[in-house]
Structures are given as structure tokens and as C-alpha cells.
Amino acid sequence: MKKTSEILLLAVFTFYVTNCAMAQQHKSKLLQFDSQIDNLISQMTLEEKVNMLHGKHMFVSSGVERLGIADMIYADGPFGIREEMQPDSWMPLNLENDKATFFPTGSALAATWCPELAYKYGTGMAHEARLRGKDMILGPAINIQRIPTGGRTYEYLSEDPYLSSKLAVGYVKGVQDNGVAACVKHYALNNQENNRGTVNVIIGERAMREIYLAPFRASVEEADAYGIMPAYNKVNGEWCSENNILLNQILRKEWGFAGFTVSDWGGTHSTVDAITSGLNVEMPTKKFLGQALLDSVKAGKVSEEVINQRVREILRVRLAIKPIPAAEANKEITSQPQQQKIAYEVATKSIVLLKNEGVLPLNLSKKKVIAVIGANAEQIMATGGVGAGVKALYEVTPMQGLKNKIGDRAQLLYAKGYEPVTFSFADMYKKKTPEEIEKANKEKQVKAQKLTQEAVELASKADLVIFVAGNNRAVETEAIDRKDIFLPSGQDELIRKIAEVNPNIITVLTSGAPNDLNVVKPLSKALLISWFNGSEGGNALADVLIGNISPSGRLPFTLPVKLEDSPAYALKNYPQGVKNTDVFTDLVSTTDGKDNQKKKDEISNDPNTAYYSEESLVGYRWFDTKNIPVMYPFGFGLTYTIFEYSKVKTDKDKYGKDDVITLSFELKNKGKIAADEVVQVYVHRINPSVEWPAKELKAFSRVSLNPGETKTVALKVPVKELMYWNDKKQSWDYDPCKSELMVGSSVDEIKLKKEIVTE
């Protein structure tokens, strides 16, 4: 229970927030069901109500059969519908029909810089969810990519709140317009996996609002998200699943969220605090919101009105989403051609070309010998580590894609080159003796030497090497952050050796997060990132390499020169350096929680605190403001053509608070290949009254241009998008000043500038 002083503080805060923010609260479609719901609630017993507030099975929470209220059926998310599992464990059911489409993961989707595609992606996810009888997709996952090593960077979208918001809104709308609820996760500040189940994030309110909450706010206010998943961690001292400020005050009262919250799996910590602070469903257990809740109501610690409200919030979604009878689910195979097409389209637009010294697109006129080197050329990325994976119907690997698209126009040879990192739960729990470790290391070394030798031999016989390097899903995984961003499995050493015998190297990185490119960049004539790119990833990559499609993805995050340059590292805010025992381990071994409570208590006593003292200077905001050189900047990506920017203007020079700035300019494709450019508008404040990052993304658009074509591009920036969170007033505020609108092809390549004044 909370102390009286805390409750008083909260009351003052509530008054403030409700008064400052109520005026702008969005009206959810879900409110239309309330009178029907009152009637339903009046017929329910207390037991029936409480029964709706916790897990029934691993991915199911209860309805009330007697009243025709169906159970709520959840599916992971976020990049494909997870396979069917046994009701009360993580063990698969081994069905045939649950093979789904593997959609490109979050950072790949973000690299498209295309909200319309995010909408299509959501549509595809919803169609597959419906075939499987699911009501709510546990996704999208939209936390800001704060550290390059973050285990879930590949699931998340971007380091920038504006880009993340636009894509999250597209995804959520796509899902919900097609009859499925989205559960946006992980609210909030789940920006690291190490100690995610214990870490307490200490952050100032301005950075929290402007950077970390912004995509969640947009998902609620602009897309009317029906579900929110409170994260595992604490924020400013309170667990997210019982954080009155985050759940009741900001999410519900301020933003007008009308749906329900679902704890992250095993992320509930209390009964009275959780239910009164705004948690609706404890998943997948009933340790806190089961009998303990019933007892608390009976003992007068929780009023029945609170229970009614939590039930009402669930019922709103239940009435908005049509349940699918179990007999109708899983009749057809989940992955359907329509969805595979969407996965392909996203993949083709996500690939980022970082460097090209005239070797791409590939010239296939002379039947070349191409050595494809690297285990990632044949590596499946739909599964691999801890957490949500997709049992994909199929996955076209880079090697398969090259074979499909090149056919006999070149001779394609393959060498594995390195032993990929693998993951298994058995290995995670098995403690090895020092002798066993030494023996394993020796074997590894011998194997690596052999693989290197084979690869170098192959490279020496080839006209060209396509080096398929990067991470995989065992390297980037839920529950643990990477220790560094170096290419794994000795890939740097391997490329050095390959380059000695063949300098014609094209490097493809299949990673979901940043890598250190100091070795690989100078040794590669061309360098691309092709992500964890879904079922059609290999086909999309081959189409880009051979020039069927001009690359058009743009970096959704900064690639630093070295990890230590990035803000949380530079300021020694990360890593916090304590032991890493994950909440997930509890759920894997048992669901009753008893054995693990002791273990958990020990961990909670750890002084385990993440300070966000870099405040708003996350990602490019840090590098740009502090003038720290980067390897490749946020927003960067080359194409097979050249674009020319000219004639920038705005509709006015001075703007009032309610105005929308319209900025336009001309964009010309000066080359011989049709291509998309992603134009970006950054705002730089010239004479502000408060501190700002040097530049902030405030508009962008993907523009398709044929060779020689010119288009006038118009972009809109509402002045209210330029507001800041005023800590003193505890509200959003304007900072009237002179600003420069900067049009560019990345945060570091500004092509045009236009000064404006906001009043």
C-alpha cells in the first residue's frame, strides 16, 4: 500500500493534470458501448468480475460464459502471429495450420519511413490473427531505441519519437480497422533488457513526455489503441503495472485511453496498488488479481466500483472485437499470399544502402562467379532467441533469394565462413565446468579455422564476394542486451582475410540493430543493411542487389563510430552492471511463482537504477547537438539515382499557435533509374527560450520519382507539434521563436533551409 504522503502528492498531481489536459482528451470509439456494458455488469457476480482480471491460460483471459461474454484471446506480436502453444505452458502444440507470415521486424518496418506500409503491415497481421481466432495482438512494440545494444532493438521501431509515432499509428490503425485489437507495448521506458524485471528508470518529465511517451500518446490519441501493455520495469520508483501516474493519470485521464491494460507476462507485483492504479489484467497468472483481489474487495481494501471500472474497460474492447468460435479458428493455414505480398513490399522498401562504389546494381551481363560467404546467407531469422518468434510458413534466405532472382545469369557458390551464435534454454541453465568450457572453446577455434579457410579459398576463385554478415536472433534477443555492437562470430577477422584474396566485396548486414562498421566499411565496395526482413527478405534483397528495385530504406537509428560515443554509454548511465536474472526465467520454469518469489525478492533488493541523465538527447539528438561524428547518420540511405532539391518555400513567414506550416520544395530525379527518396524536415530553433536539441524531425515523406521527373513536395508541420513539456507548469507549452526548417535526406545532409517565426 502507498503511504499517505504519496497519496496526497498524487492527488495534487491528478488535479493538475486533469485540469491542464482534460480539454484536449480524445474521444475513443469504445465509449459507445458503455450503456450496454452497465447492463452487463449489473448482472455479474463479484466472482465473475474478478475472474476477468487475470490469466485463464498462458494467452487467454476469461469472459463470462453465462452472459455470452467470450474469453479474450491474445497473440504475440509484433512481427507475425506466434504459433499455438499448450494452454498453460510455452510448449508448442505442433499444429500445421499455425504457420504464419514472418513480417520484417520493427527496425526494418521503421527503415521504410512509410506509415502507409505500417498500416498495410497491421492489416496483414490482423488477417492472420483472425484466421487463428485471436482478439488482441500483443504489438506493436514501440519503445524508443535508447541503447544500440538493447536486446529488443530489432522489435522496436526507432530512436526518434516522431518516426516511431507515425509508424505506430499506421500499424495500430491497420490492425484495428480489420477487427482485431492492438496491445501497444511496453508502456513505458522498457529501453533495456538487462534487469528489465527489476530496473528502476529515473527520468525527468520533459524527456519522458517528449521522447519516450510520445509514440504511446500518438497510438492512443491518433489511432485509438484498444490495449496497452505496462512494462516490466519501474518508472520513477513505481512498477509500470501499478504506476498511477502512467496508467490512471496520463494514459486514461490525460490521453483518453478507454481500453484495457494487460500486464507483461509475469510483470504484476501487487493486488490493491495494481488494480487501483489502473491495471486490468494480470497475465498469465492469477497470483495478485485472483483470490487475493476477491479477498481485498471483501475486506474493503478495494471498492467494487474500481472492479466495475476495470471490467468495463475490458468489456468495451470485448464488444468492439467480434469473438471467433474455437471451431472456426485454425481451419486455414495462417500465412496467406496477400500477407506474403505485404511482407515482400515492406522488405523491398526497408533495405538501406550505406555505401556503393559503383558495384551495385550487379552487372549480370558476363556470367560472373559470385561467392556468397557467411552463415547469415542461410540463417533463418523468424526465430532464434528468447521471446516472440514466428513459426514461419517459409522464409526466403539471402542465398535462396539470390538463386531465385539470378538463376543461371551467374554462378553462385556458397561458403559458410563462420559459425553462427546459437541459443537454447538448455544451454542457458546448464552450468559448464572450466574444463568443459576450455574444450568447447578449442573445438570452436578449430572449426572456425576450417570455415575461414574454405571461405577464403572460395573467394579467391570468384569475381565477386557477397559477404552476408551481421547478427541473428540468438545475438539480438529478448531478456538480455548485447555486451557490445561488434559483428559476432569473428566476422571482422573473416572479412580481413577475404579482402586479402578478393577486394570485390559487397557486404550485406542482416541485423536488427546497430553494428560497429569500422572494419567492414573500408573493406567493402558496397555495404547494405537488410535487417531481419521477414518471409520474403531474401527475394527483396536480391531484387535490390540486381537492380530490379532501387534501394530506398533509411536508417531509423544512428550508426555510431563506436558504442561508447552513444549517449547512455558516454554518460555512464548504461550498463548499470549488476546481475541479470530475467523475469522470463520464472515463466519458463513454473507459473505458480512460489519458488521464484524468494529469488525475485533478492533481485529487487539490488540497487538497480537506470538514470536517464542524457534527458532528451537520445540518438541523433545527442550526436548532432554535441557535434560527435557518426559512422552513418539517422535518416541516411543511398539509392541508385541522384536527387536534386530546390526552391523551398513556406506558405507564410509567421505562424500562430493553431496554424499549420506548409513547406514545399521541388525534388528531381536526375538519374536513369526510378527510385524513392525519403525527404525529411528537421526543426532547428534559432532563438528559443528553453533548451532544445540542435535538430528534431518534424515531418517526412517517401516520394517516388521516375528518371528525369520533378515533383513539388508539400509537407505540413502543425505548430502544436513544436510544443515542449513545461515542467514548472506541468503542461505542454509553446516556445515562440525564430526557427529554421531544414529539408534533408538525413539529419546530417541538409539540402534546403527556410526561416520561420512562431508567435
Q: How far apart are CA 709 and CA 235, in angstroms?
A: 50
Residue 71 falls in the annotated catalytic set: no
Using CB under 6 A as the binding rule, whether residue 83 contacts ligand BGC is answered as no
Which residues between 278 and 297 bind ligand BGC (CB under 6 A)? none
Per CB under 6 A, the list member of 239, 265, 557, 725 interacting with ligand BGC is 265
Q: Are 345 and 121 a contacting pair, CB within 8 Å?
A: no
Catalytic residue among 135, 264, 481, 582: 264
User: What number of other Cβ atoms are within 10 A of residue 653's Cβ?
Assistant: 10
Cell of 627: 557535434
Using CB under 6 A as the binding rule, whether residue 76 contacts ligand BGC is answered as yes
Q: Are 469 and 354 a contacting pair, CB within 8 Å?
A: no
Q: How far apart are CA 414 and CA 470, in angstroms?
A: 17
Smaller CB separation from ligand BGC, 150 or 637? 150
Smaller CB separation from ligand BGC, 77 or 553? 77
Smaller CB separation from ligand BGC, 156 or 569? 156
Q: Are 117 and 349 a contacting pair, CB within 8 Å?
A: yes
- Smallest separation, CB 597 to ligand BGC (Å): 18
- Smallest separation, CB 582 to ligand BGC (Å): 8
Tell me phi and psi for residue 424, to 5 degrees. -150, 145
- Smallest separation, CB 388 to ligand BGC (Å): 6
Query: CA–CA distance from 488 to each of 474, 493, 645 (Å)?
Result: 11, 10, 39
Binding-site string for ligand BGC from residue 220 to residue 259, where x marks contact by CB under 6 A and - marks none: ----------------------------------------
- From the list 641, 356, 396, 638, the residue with the least C-alpha distance to 507 is 356
DSSP 591: S
From first CA to last CA, the distance across the chain in angstroms is 47
Smaller CB separation from ligand BGC, 227 or 553? 227
- Smallest separation, CB 647 to ligand BGC (Å): 46
Smaller CB separation from ligand BGC, 231 or 396? 231
Q: How far apart are CA 442 and CA 444, in angstroms?
A: 5
User: What number of other Cβ atoms are within 10 A of residue 589's Cβ?
Assistant: 11
Helix (H), strand (E), coil (C) string for 197-253:
CCCEEECCHHHHHHHHCHHHHHHHHCCCCCEEEECCCEECCEEHHHCHHHHHHHHHH
Q: How far apart are CA 487 and CA 268, in angstroms?
A: 36
Using CB under 6 A as the binding rule, whether residue 185 contacts ligand BGC is answered as yes
- From the list 695, 676, 703, the residue with the least C-alpha distance to 747 is 695
How many CA within 13 A on the CB side of residue 81?
Answer: 36
| 159-177-227 Cα angle (round to 5) | 55
Using CB under 6 A as the binding rule, whether residue 138 contacts ligand BGC is answered as yes
Smaller CB separation from ligand BGC, 102 or 265? 265
User: How many residues are listed for the chain in this entry?
Assistant: 759
- Smallest separation, CB 98 to ligand BGC (Å): 15
Using CB under 6 A as the binding rule, whether residue 554 contacts ligand BGC is answered as no
Using CB under 6 A as the binding rule, whether residue 264 contacts ligand BGC is answered as yes
Using CB under 6 A as the binding rule, whether residue 193 contacts ligand BGC is answered as no
Binding-site string for ligand BGC from residue 15 to residue 54, where x marks contact by CB under 6 A and - marks none: ----------------------------------------
Torsion of CA 150, 693, 222, 169, to 10 degrees: -40
- Smallest separation, CB 262 to ligand BGC (Å): 9
* Total chain residues near ligand BGC (CB under 6 A): 9
Smaller CB separation from ligand BGC, 476 or 615? 476
Smaller CB separation from ligand BGC, 476 or 748? 476
- Smallest separation, CB 105 to ligand BGC (Å): 13
Which residues between 375 and 394 bind ligand BGC (CB under 6 A)? 387-388
Q: How far apart are CA 731 and CA 254, in angstroms?
A: 11
Per CB under 6 A, the list member of 119, 260, 532, 584 interacting with ligand BGC is 584
- Smallest separation, CB 267 to ligand BGC (Å): 8
Tell me which residues are annotated as active site. Answer: 264
Residues that bind ligand BGC (CB under 6 A): 76-77, 138, 185, 264-265, 387-388, 584
